Amino acid sequence: MDNPNKSPRKIVVIGAGISGLSCAYRINQLAEKTGLKIEISVLEASPRAGGKIITDRSGGILTEGGPDSFLTLKPEAENLVKELGLEKDLIPANQKLSRVWINDKNKLYPLPKGTGLIPSKIIPFLFSNLLSFSGRLRVIAEPWVSPKLGDEDESLASFISRRMGPEFLQKIADPILSGIYAAPSEQISLLSTFPHLREMEKRGGIFQSLSKSKPGKIVFATLKDGLSSLSNALAQNLPGKALKRDSPVLAIQREHRGWAVKTSRENFLADSVILAVPANSASLLCADFSPEISSALSEIPFTSSVVVNLVYSRKSVKHSLKGYGFVSVQNGSSLMAATFSSSKFPHRSNSDKALIRVFFREKSPSGEELISKNEDEIAKIAHQELAPVLGLRAIPEEFRVYKWMKAHPVYCVGHGLRMKRIESCLKDLPGIFLAGSSYYGIGLPDCIRSGQKAAEESVQFLKNRHNKNPYVLQSMEASPSCSPTRN
């Protein structure tokens, strides 16, 4: 009889963004730890690994086109950085300039100390002139607002307006949320993004709960040579030929012994397939074998955005740039937020430069499309929008534009129920797993966690399957079609 440990099990990971790379890296670790022979193939559509992570280091200036930094409050990204030996390159955001500003009609107001989505310190908030006097009184009346009963989901806009009042929503919470989710807070699910706020509400109000708990310090971090050093390190730590670039997956079909994954170059037979691609791509790939999951995945909406990195001579910027940047109150423009990159991460440019990263929604509230314009036009608009806010006295010396078409998954009200439907469909698809930002968190640490979880589930699936019926796997091993085949 064949020794089942001689021929490897095959796992195909689709997508080499941070989720797919973290997944493949963990599978490799698990294989080494358990002694299970696993052959991994990571199939990536584009010529490069990293997905939305794009670092540009040209001209002595470091810019990020996609994610800019990660939160250390969720430990997965920092832990992975350390595991990969990149700890020496870890750079926390400049703590001396951690202020965030609110841009209301081109005037910048400092966000009071201790205020984020919810003010955790009342005294600085009371003395801030960001909200009207009645708006501030409404916020401190929060403990007397009766809690909403039941477990039904609601939008973040509804929750915040109910508890803190509409002015707090409009001038503070909504700008912050748009900067994170690139979607209006009226659409975003409370239970899929900040479920602990509902729990706090039930325990006597948010302020009361915050006064009893010790909220962790929000620290952003990045890497000296940019976030792509994390994705590159993951890619380099995969076994030899595991990563296959320029390999868009065209279809997945169910075979009686596993799954057939088709790319334009090669076909792969796999025991398990992990779809580490956004839900809209996953939906297309699942259509052949499960119209139900394909339909549930297609219901997750996506929004678009545009990121522009602008380099100015420091002398030409009147504003102190003391802070991480600003978020904008909705006022008819598409400008959502700006990061003062040269203040938040001073190593990214020389001190005589001001590096500013601007984040736009795809359209202005009046419907004017930004994303369809060319890069020069977009950079011009970015400069025109920034000029009155920061007192710019000269045009940028350089700019880099990144268009993000349907790149931001929106966790709409009811996202949790949709996820339950998706999970239930997965139960009928043995060996298929999902990972990525479309499901349980959009930040880099969330994506890493989702990739690692999918890796663990996939390896566990292979182990269980082998324990239940070793002959199934042995017969797969005997089949020549298990190896990648040329079309």
Distance CA 343, CA 7 (A): 54
In whole angstroms, the minimum distance from the beta carbon of 344 to ligand FAD comes to: 11
Structure tokens at 424: 């239930």
Distance CA 162, CA 169 (A): 9
Distance CA 103, CA 339 (A): 12
Please say which residue, 373 or 406, places its beta carbon nearer to ligand FAD: 406
Length of the chain: 487
In whole angstroms, the minimum distance from the beta carbon of 71 to ligand FAD comes to: 6
User: What contacts 32, CB < 8 A, 6 or more positions away?
Assistant: none
Q: Phi-psi region for residue 391, left (φ > 0), alpha (ψ -120 to 50) or beta?
A: left
* Beta strands 258-263 and 266-270, pairing class: antiparallel
Structure tokens at 385: 């929008």
Please say which residue, 14 or 381, places its beta carbon nearer to ligand FAD: 14
Q: What are phi and psi of 51, to 5 degrees?
A: 60, -120
In whole angstroms, the minimum distance from the beta carbon of 447 to ligand FAD comes to: 4
Please say which residue, 128 or 272, places its beta carbon nearer to ligand FAD: 272
In whole angstroms, the minimum distance from the beta carbon of 32 to ligand FAD comes to: 23
Strand order in the sheet with 249-255: 249-255, 258-263, 266-270, 485-486
In whole angstroms, the minimum distance from the beta carbon of 278 to ligand FAD comes to: 5
In whole angstroms, the minimum distance from the beta carbon of 56 to ligand FAD comes to: 14
Distance CA 341, CA 357 (A): 6
In whole angstroms, the minimum distance from the beta carbon of 194 to ligand FAD comes to: 16
Please say which residue, 68 or 201, places its beta carbon nearer to ligand FAD: 68
In whole angstroms, the minimum distance from the beta carbon of 27 to ligand FAD comes to: 15
The answer to whether 43 and 12 have CB atoms below 8 angstroms apart is: yes
Please say which residue, 131 or 401, places its beta carbon nearer to ligand FAD: 401
Residue 51 CB-density burial (10 A; 0-12 exposed, 13-18 middle, 19+ buried):
buried
Q: Which residues make up the interface to ligand FAD (CB under 6 A)? A: 14-20, 43-46, 51-53, 66-70, 248-249, 276-278, 281, 305, 307, 404, 407-408, 436-437, 442-444, 447
Q: Which residue has the tokens 């910027």?
A: 317
Please say which residue, 77 or 206, places its beta carbon nearer to ligand FAD: 77
Q: Phi-psi region for residue 476, left (φ > 0), alpha (ψ -120 to 50) or beta?
A: alpha
Please say which residue, 52 or 418, places its beta carbon nearer to ligand FAD: 52
Please say which residue, 173 or 230, places its beta carbon nearer to ligand FAD: 230
Q: What are phi and psi of 50, to 5 degrees?
A: 120, -25
The answer to whether 356 and 339 have CB atoms below 8 angstroms apart is: yes
Please say which residue, 315 or 347, places its beta carbon nearer to ligand FAD: 347
- Distance between start and end Cα atoms, the chain: 32
The answer to whether 207 and 142 have CB atoms below 8 angstroms apart is: yes
In whole angstroms, the minimum distance from the beta carbon of 44 to ligand FAD comes to: 5
